[in-house]
Amino acid sequence: MKPLVTLLIRNAEQVVTARTGGRPARYSWRAAEILPGGSVACAGDRIVAVGTQEEVLRNLELSPHALVIDAVGCAVTPGLVDCHAHPVWAGSRVDEFEERIRGVSYEEISRRGGGIQATVAAVRRASEEELVTAALRRLDIFLSCGTTTLEAKSGYGLSTEHELRLLRVIQRLRHMHPVELVPTFLGAHTVPEEYRGRREQYVELLVNEMIPAVASGALAEFCDVFCEAGFFSPAESERILLAGKDHGLRPKIHAEQLSRSGGSPVAAAVGAVSADHLDWCEEEDLHALAQAGVVPVNLPGATCFLGKERYAPARRMIEMDMPVAIATDFNPGTAPIFSLPLVGSFSCLRQGLTPAEALSAMTLGGAWALARQDEIGTLEEGKRADLVVWPTKDYREIFYYLGSIRPRWVVKNGRIVYQSADESSLGHRGITGKDRT
Ligand code: NIG
Ligand code: FE
């Protein structure tokens, strides 16, 4: 039987599908598919058709309770996928922001016990309810920027008790908010204060106690390590990621962020799903990643916020036909940035990506970096009905206006989960239908 359409988005100026025409891993980099006058039909939580309204409705029928969004003058894109983020924490690091402006480096602040350690102390002091409340507020902002899927790393607990608590908070949030969270265990974010001078013991704790506990509670999908001078060495990173893999946690790695730390060869050796940051990677590193099928994740917001000049070679990644991703790296120290559109502008301006490439990298690319490329990241039949309606006729303005274009509507799993307050000024006819939820 034909599915009944429960949500129809019609009359859009542009529908940017980001689909690849069946090619599994690659993008139609240079030519984003744009359907003018397009429509998207959803049945329940799935997309059932994309095309002109006539095409879309030719073989389908509208449910009598269907919601119809009239997207006149708007562009429709897939829901944004933010594949690298640290959204659960407590406290404030705004003093460090000012210190850095005055010339103290991130590395120096970290050596003095600030940085990640400062957030760890605040997280350990905070109640579970405080962590949940703060994170929920942040998720509202992510959603208002168009993010429908968000990675959530632990990494600010750094003891078995506190890492498990953070991951439990993430599990609770998954039932409380429409932004879909993907949990990653990052116990190897830094060596905590109390293990200073005996780091091997912390690595033992990670491998023998934390990873097994995380896996047995099914609390995370991925295991990540901050591989960097002063944090975890390549050998330690490899050991931790392999232990995670043994327990069913798929590897990810923070690599070549502040220096050429040696994380890329580790990513290739352990078969990581993604290698993230890569500001200092060299050609040889990219080849290793490409050959091993590791998704390179660009985090230019962190590069900018740290006041650094060297950005990851995203153009080169595209030339090599890698499935490039862009993410916010949202965190209190190096990237207090919610907006993927703003980060996309940085990619365009500092890394030379075109708007089409930036959009693909934060939809399908993000989906690849979370191993969800068959489920989300494009507008095509069979995928989840996650999409954003933007109040612009030309999707390139999402990047041109540097984070100022906010979604008009956001749809997650076929439901309208966000609607901007400003209905009048854009000249849309808005939503019709019985149930407006
Ligand atoms: O991704 N690189 C490691 N972790 C974060 C920084 C976290 C912090 O400073 O709190 C990052 O940039
Ligand atoms: Fe990070």
What would the 3-class secondary structure string for 323-390 be?
A: CCEECCCEECCCECCCCHHHHHHHHHHHHCCCHHHHHHHCCHHHHHHCCCCCCCCCCCCCCECCEEEE
Percent of the chain with pLDDT over 70: 94
Comparison of pLDDT for 436 and 315, the residue scoring more? 315
Residue entry with tokens 């295991």: 223
User: What pLDDT does residue 437 have?
Assistant: 39
pLDDT tens-digit readout, 189-238: 999 999 999 999 999 999 999 999 999 999 999 999 999 999 999 999 99
**Cα 76 to Cα 47: distance, rounded to the nearest angstrom:** 13
Closest ligand 1 atom, residue 84 Cα: 1
Average pLDDT over residues 357-385: 95
Closest ligand 1 atom, residue 115 Cα: 9
- Are 7 and 42 in contact by the 8 Å Cβ rule? The answer is yes
Is residue 332 within 6 Å of ligand 1 at its C-beta? yes
User: What pLDDT does residue 3 have?
Assistant: 86
Ligand index nearest the alpha carbon of residue 305: 1
Q: State in Å: Cα 357 to ligand 1 middle.
A: 25
**Cα 120 to Cα 7: distance, rounded to the nearest angstrom:** 43
Question: 37-41, 52-56, 116-120, 287-291: which range is least confident on average?
Answer: 52-56
Ligand index nearest the alpha carbon of residue 97: 1
User: Quick one: residue 44, left, alpha or beta (phi over 0 = left, psi -120 to 50 = alpha)?
Assistant: left
Ligand index nearest the alpha carbon of residue 190: 1
| pLDDT over 70 at 436, yes or no | no
Nearest to 288 by CA among 265, 266, 315: 265
pLDDT tens-digit readout, 230-265: 999 999 999 999 999 999 999 999 999 999 999 999
**In testing the pocket of ligand 1, which one of 189, 258, 276, 303 has its CB within 8 Å of the most ligand atoms?**
189
Mean pLDDT score across all residues of the chain: 93
- The phi, psi pair for 74, rounded to 5°, reads -120, 160
433 confidence band (pLDDT: 50, 70, 90): low
**In testing the pocket of ligand 1, which one of 104, 120, 334 has its CB within 8 Å of the most ligand atoms?**
334
**Cα 43 to Cα 7: distance, rounded to the nearest angstrom:** 7
**Cα 44 to Cα 128: distance, rounded to the nearest angstrom:** 34
pLDDT tens-digit readout, 44-88: 999 999 999 889 989 899 999 999 999 999 999 999 999 999 999
User: What pLDDT does residue 321 have?
Assistant: 87
Return the amino acid letter for 46: R
Query: Residue 310 to residues 166, 300, 307, 427: CA-CA distances in angstroms?
Result: 33, 9, 9, 42
**Cα 339 to Cα 402: distance, rounded to the nearest angstrom:** 10
Closest ligand 1 atom, residue 89 Cα: 10
pLDDT tens-digit readout, 23-36: 544 555 455 788 88
Is residue 231 within 6 Å of ligand 1 at its C-beta? no
Domains and CATH numbers, the chain: 4-78+378-432 (2.30.40.10), 80-369 (3.20.20.140)
| pLDDT over 60 at 145, yes or no | yes
Is residue 302 within 6 Å of ligand 1 at its C-beta? yes
**In testing the pocket of ligand 1, which one of 329, 337, 343 has its CB within 8 Å of the most ligand atoms?**
329
Closest-CA residue, ligand 1 atom 12, reads 334
Average pLDDT over residues 138-145: 98
**Cα 175 to Cα 88: distance, rounded to the nearest angstrom:** 15
Q: State in Å: Cα 186 to ligand 2 middle.
A: 9
Handedness of CA 217, 219, 223, 225 (dihedral sign): negative
Task: Beginning with the edge strand found earlier in the chain, give each strand of the sheet holding 295-298 in spatial order.
Answer: 80-82, 147-153, 180-188, 222-226, 250-255, 274-277, 295-298, 325-326
Tokens of 85: 């983020």
**In testing the pocket of ligand 1, which one of 151, 154, 226 has its CB within 8 Å of the most ligand atoms?**
226
User: What pLDDT does residue 2 have?
Assistant: 79
| pLDDT over 70 at 142, yes or no | yes
Q: State in Å: Cα 259 to ligand 1 middle.
A: 14
| pLDDT over 50 at 429, yes or no | no
Is residue 297 within 6 Å of ligand 1 at its C-beta? no
- The phi, psi pair for 200, rounded to 5°, reads -60, -35
Is residue 226 within 6 Å of ligand 1 at its C-beta? yes
pLDDT tens-digit readout, 97-125: 999 999 999 989 988 889 999 999 999 99
Q: State in Å: Cα 284 to ligand 2 middle.
A: 23
**Cα 396 to Cα 34: distance, rounded to the nearest angstrom:** 11
Closest ligand 1 atom, residue 257 Cα: 2
